[in-house]
Amino acid sequence: MKFAVLVFPGSNCDIDAVKAVEDVLGQPVDTVWHTTADLSDYDCILVPGGFSYGDYLRSGALARFSPVMEAVKREAEKGKFVIGICNGFQILTESGLLPGALRHNDHLQFRCEISPLIVENADTAFTSDYKKGDVINIPIAHGEGSYYADEETIAKLNANNQVVFRYFECDPNGSIERIAGICNEAGNVLGMMPHPERAVHEWLGSADGKALFTSILKSWEGRQRA
Amino acid sequence: MRNEPTPQQIAEEKIYRTFGLNDEEYTKIVSLMGRQPNYVETGIYSVMWSEHCSYKSSRPVLKKFPTQAPHVLQGPGENAGIIDIGDNLAVSFKIESHNHPSAIEPYQGAATGVGGIIRDVFTMGARPIALLNSLRFGEIEGPDNAHNRYLFNNVVAGIAGYGNCIGIPTVGGEVVFDDRYKYNPLVNAMCVGLLTHDEIATGTASGVGNPVLAVGARTGRDGIHGATFASTEDPHSKERSAVQVGDPFMEKLLLEACLELIASGAVVGIQDMGAAGLTSSSAEMASRAGSGLELDMLKVPRREEGMTPYELMLSESQERMLVVMEMGKEHIAEEIFQKWNLEATVIGRVTDDGMLRLKEGDEVVAEMIVTTLVDDAPVYHRPSARPSYLDQTLEFDPASITAPADLNATLHTLLRTPTIASKEYVYQQYDSMVRTSTAVRPGSDAAVVTIRGTRKALAMCTDGNGRYVYLNPRRGGQHAIAEAARNVVCSGGKPLAVTDCLNYSSPEKPEIFYQFEESCAGMSEACVVLATPVISGNVSLYNQSNDLDIYPTPIIGMVGLVEDVDHITTQTFKSAGNHVLLVGPSDTAGISGSEYLRVVHGLTAGDAPALDLHVEKAVQTAVLTAIQSGYVRAAHDLAEGGLAVAVAESAIGGKLGAQLELNTNQRLDEVLFGEAGSRILVEVAPEALAAVEAIFAKEGVSSTVLGTLGGDALEIRVNGETVISEKVAELESTWRGAIPCLMN
């Protein structure tokens, strides 16, 4: 299974995503510069965290115009797996690949800590190695992570089981219904503010993020057999 | 014709004085040049000869630091020092102050401090892997201290804003609150970088004809005379225009482009345009190589039209570097920088005539001998006099105060003190985990960052106690080094080297110069005994306003090597049933100089706490040996608040109680809150106790089993009587809640 990790000017969790794929899955992974227009060689596209273009305007607002985002849209429509983490999530909402938006944290400070999440949907391609209701510890590190969508969208997300993770017994940013991660209707695009790639070794403080990577590999292997 | 004063006007109207040059210095410049300097030249001499760039007051003292050791690859004098850690790997690090700008514009002052220190480290060819800081503010409690809270909040936000965006984890630091810093907050930032031996780059401009490039951001009119500004007495009397604005996104691009450029092998020398911008970078690079430079001001990329050579040379616009490339390889720089959407522009050439020559096209606008800018800067042997306040502070008699009756309440009071209380409010604003190499995050004795592809890791911390230095400059200097090294040992590292940030008031006051001289002597003594040479550093003087001098505050950045990731140790208690041992002198040597005395009794008095450097060395060797042997489950240095606070912090972190018993003929407050040095708390499993005690005995270090871990309460009995008995959860609530409560 071949992974692409996108690199925008200002991305800074690209290396962490590469290390996580290498350490957890041992699968091939390339960093892909934002000017690349073709991603058809890849089975999974990771949009990493960081501060693309400095995020001076609005997180992800400029990165969505990068040539590579057209390629991401094309591959997502084909059903390829796409994961946006932190700034990657913000870029996916700005690009319209996922609904809603990420606003400034309600307390207006950057927040970095290991947050407990509850797995709301373990039937996605990204979460099959978790069980529904699992509480997992995953780091967060963001200033604009407060998930917002209008009532209608939230109702739809809930009805379609598109809410994948919620913050559990904590509220680090004021997200609506403590939403921490969502997927698209088709279930092949995931966006989340917490960083699973930072939780792949016990010495990092948690290894609870590994199952997200193993789930993707299994889903891909399932598709290959089908 | 520019509206600039003529050389005659500068001399006759003594305009040079407004640049910070005194009459004697101006006369020396005239004699060195053999003529009167013009406006640009006067500006250039004034910044090169400012305290900030020339270290004219501190140089005679700094020369005395021990800087040599077999593992030192680069000592002081470059952008940052470098040490060898084996396997062809090296570590570059440095600490620097941004006190004056932060007093005026705390967010940008702190942010650009972080930006500057990162550039100093990647200039050496190192990939920055960690940031630390050390901060001092006035008290933040109560309605009168809103400005101190504003400074605190914005400095922290500025550090966070820059470090988080550029993607280098902020892994450690310290924050102390004392009204001595209310007009002059201290903002010291440290960066640690990793490189291989063959990747080392330096700031030298050699090779006649080689092109000189300005790379990164364009030059604007911001920060003109920042270095001079940092060398004056009162930052508040100066203008905001001397403070620069940071762009961490630009710096992220610059960082990646420069490391790519250095890896190309075509770089001869590279240096940050930091304080004094193009002036100091060009003069210092030429000075190191013994060469000259000829620069065309018309070619310097600029943000605004109509900028004069004076403005271009003195601007402190951020995120710029000066690079000397091998002749004919300019295109390599241009291609790499284009990829990162940055500019790389040839602005001049290396010459062999030893001159710094500035032109506008064909017209020479300034011409100075490089050595006169760098080596001939004045050196002042400032008079030194023992401060008279020491007679009063040393008179302190502990018998004059009574130990509190309710020691539980006293422990809560100390845990609530902002200097001791949890700094989570601060460090949760820093991304401490990006790069996924942080094994010990902020909140333990020293942070630990792993090195991918090896079993090694680096332990690092910042430390300093201005009150100790104030009360006993020499011993206070020793404490700063000793405690920093002790923290590294507690995390499982062998202390290797020091970077120092020396923050003092005006060196022109003999009593302040005494503090400076004596504390540096104390630091040197400790560096020698602990085998930790000084490899880089920075001096910040004139930290005084409204007749209030800061405490003399040398801040130490220490880096140590953890040989194997299995040795990584934290301060939190781990398992019920394990023993708690106190390693080091059992005599706390009283409450003099302690945080307890300050907070509970309102006194900064007595001598600095006791410290014997040879005992310190033995304790550190013993504990590190025990850690490396796999016997130590937790280790925590005893610092502010003494034994009781250290035990409480370890208990809170582990959410685990402890039952301890002490036998002593000392006063209760001395036993619980005294701050003598060389003491470490360790947790050891019962089956390892004999082996650990054997190690301590072999090193000639005393140790006492204080008790065992278990339950949900901290209980301390002294001579059979219970003096502390409190639920750990209650202690945690006080300790964790203190700063948020004051800030919200």
Residues 449-468 of chain B with CB under 8 A from chain A are 450, 452
pLDDT band at B316 (very low <50, low <70, confident <90, very high): confident
Residue B454 lies in a domain: no
Q: In this predicted model, what pLDDT tens digit does every residue of A192-215 receive, in sequence order?
A: 999 999 999 999 999 999 999 999
Of B590 and B197, the one with more pLDDT: B197
Cβ of residue A116 closer than 8 Å to a chain B Cβ: no
Domain holding A127, by residue range, is 3-225
Residue B634 lies in a domain: yes
CB B103 within 8 A of CB B168: no
Domain count, chain A: 1
Task: State the angle between helix axes of B146-166 and B728-743 in degrees (0 to 180), rounded to the nearest 10.
Answer: 100
Cβ of residue A204 closer than 8 Å to a chain B Cβ: yes
Pairing between β-strand B553-562 and β-strand B658-662 as defined by DSSP bridges: unpaired
- Examine the pLDDT at B233 and tell me if it is beyond 60: no
Amino acid occupying residue B155: V
Q: In this predicted model, what pLDDT tens digit does every residue of B399-433 receive, in sequence order?
A: 999 999 999 999 999 999 999 999 999 999 999 99
Q: In this predicted model, what pLDDT tens digit does every residue of B360-407 receive, in sequence order?
A: 999 999 999 999 999 999 999 999 999 999 999 999 999 999 999 999
Residues of B carrying an active site annotation: 52, 98
A77 included as an active-site residue: no
In percent, how much of chain A has pLDDT > 90? 98
* The token pair that represents A156 in the structure block: 């739809």
A197 included as an active-site residue: yes
Q: Is B97 annotated as a binding residue?
A: yes
CB–CB contact B435 A9 (8 Å): no
pLDDT (average), residues B451-474: 98
pLDDT of residue A226: 82
What DSSP character marks residue A42?
Answer: -
Residue B653 lies in a domain: yes
E strands, chain A, are 3-7, 29-33, 44-47, 81-85, 101-103, 111-119, 135-142, 146-148, 163-167, 179-183, 189-192
Give ipTM to 2 decimals: 0.97
- Examine the pLDDT at A76 and tell me if it is beyond 70: yes
Q: Report the alpha-carbon distance of residue B85 to residue B100 in Å, rounded.
A: 35
Domain count, chain B: 2
Residue B307's contacts (CB-CB under 8 Å, 6 or more residues apart) are B219, B221, B315
* Identified catalytic residue from A75, A120, A144, A197: A197
- Selected for mutation to probe chain A from B118, B170, B436, B455 (highest A CB count within 10 Å) is B436
Pairing between β-strand B544-545 and β-strand B632-637 as defined by DSSP bridges: unpaired
CB–CB contact B167 A12 (8 Å): yes
- Examine the pLDDT at B243 and tell me if it is beyond 80: no
Residue B739 lies in a domain: yes
Nearest CB to B435: which of A15, A143, A203? A15
Closest C-alpha to B743, from B185, B177, B109, B172: B177
| Average pLDDT, rounded, for chain A | 97
Closest C-alpha to B235, from B134, B47, B99, B48: B99
Q: Is B487 annotated as a binding residue?
A: no
Looking at residue B574, which CATH number applies to its domain?
Answer: 3.90.650.10
pLDDT of residue B505: 97
| Average pLDDT, rounded, for chain B | 95
Looking at residue A62, which CATH number applies to its domain?
Answer: 3.40.50.880
Amino acid occupying residue B268: V
- Cα-Cα-Cα-Cα torsion B652, B653, B657, B658, nearest 10 degrees, comes to -100
Measured at the alpha carbon of residue B133, what is the angle toward residues B127 and B139, in degrees to the nearest 5? 165
CB–CB contact A9 B429 (8 Å): no
Amino acid occupying residue B464: G
CB B316 within 8 A of CB B277: yes
Contacts of B252 in chain A (CB under 8 A): 9-10, 12, 51
Domain holding B40, by residue range, is 7-48
CB–CB contact A12 B160 (8 Å): no
Residue B624 lies in a domain: yes
pLDDT (average), residues B208-229: 84
- Selected for mutation to probe chain A from B431, B455, B743 (highest A CB count within 10 Å) is B431
- Selected for mutation to probe chain B from A12, A24, A31 (highest B CB count within 10 Å) is A12
Residues 75-94 of chain A with CB under 8 A from chain B are none
pLDDT band at B240 (very low <50, low <70, confident <90, very high): very low
pLDDT (average), residues B255-266: 96
pLDDT of residue B276: 80
Q: In this predicted model, what pLDDT tens digit does every residue of B143-182 receive, in sequence order?
A: 999 999 999 999 999 999 999 999 999 999 999 999 999 9
Can you give B645-710 as a three-state secondary structure string? Answer: HHHHHHHHHHCCCEEEEECCCCCHHHHHHCCCCCCEEEEECHHHHHHHHHHHHHCCCCEEEEEEEC
* The token pair that represents B451 in the structure block: 């090195």
